[in-house]
Amino acid sequence: MKVIKNINNNVSVCITSSGAEVIAFGKGIGFKKPLYEIKLSQIERTFYDVDAMYIRMAHKKYRNHIYSSS
């Protein structure tokens, strides 16, 4: 799977080998800067067919949480 965007250190937006966009959860999969390949063994859970609006919302909420905690 190829990571195209990181939401946080454990959640990334990925592209599967068949071209489907998925949200992948796995310990530490979001540490590197995208674009990179990850092994399927690193992924604990995936969500398919997630609307782009929800991806933006998750990213925005995470970023707001980080800045408000400082």
pLDDT in tens, 23-37: 999 999 988 998 999
Which residue range forms the structural domain that includes residue 57?
2-69
| Total domains in the fold of the chain | 1
What is the domain-level CATH number for residue 26? Answer: 2.30.24.10
pTM exceeds cut of 0.85: no
Res 19: pLDDT: 85
What percentage of the chain's residues is helix, strand, coil (to nearest 5)?
Answer: 30, 35, 35
Place of tokens 């991806």: 55
Number of H helices, E strands in the chain: 1, 5
8 Å CB contact between 20 and 48 = yes
pLDDT in tens, 27-66: 999 889 989 999 999 999 888 876 777 777 777 766 665 5
Whether 68 has a pLDDT exceeding 60, the answer reads no
